Amino acid sequence: MLGVGLNEAAGRTAYLAGFHAAQGLIFETAGRVFKRHSTVQAEFGRLVKDDPRFDVALRTFLPRTYNLKSIADYGTGPGSHVSRESARDAIQTARRFVRSVTLLVPSNGQEGY
């Protein structure tokens, strides 16, 4: 998407990758399913609040990049676009975010968090 100039779609997709990873971690650790973006963001933040494996960039990824999703889904008018740099940064952080979350998800019935 980014390679063909679809910055809004790339930014939205980066956010959604993190959002779904966070939903997975919440389900696997707490057995709960949340669908609202604000609820997933809050619960995920609570889970990783004191975890040293999650630096500030990872802890704030979901709230920061939700804006990219909002622009892609609802933005109109001047200033409602996602820059290539913002989309690229979101993609890079999303990759790191998903990898970090994957390490926390329990595997084979063992607790990961």
Overall average pLDDT of the 83-105 stretch: 94
pLDDT per position as a tens digit, 5-63: 999 999 999 999 999 999 999 999 889 999 999 999 999 999 999 999 899 999 999 99
Q: Give the residue from 42, 44, 11, 41 showing the smallest Cα distance to 30.
A: 44
How high is the pLDDT of residue 105? 82
Q: What does each C-alpha distance from 87 to 22, 49, 66, 73 come to in angstroms? A: 20, 25, 12, 14
Q: Please state the pTM of the whole predicted model.
A: 0.88
Residue 56: helix, strand or coil by DSSP? helix
In order of start, what are the domains of the chain with their CATH numbers? Answer: 2-104 (1.20.120.330)
65 close to 11: Cβ distance less than 8 angstroms: yes
How high is the pLDDT of residue 80? 83
Residues 103, 113: Cα–Cα separation, whole Å: 9
Residue 60: helix, strand or coil by DSSP? coil
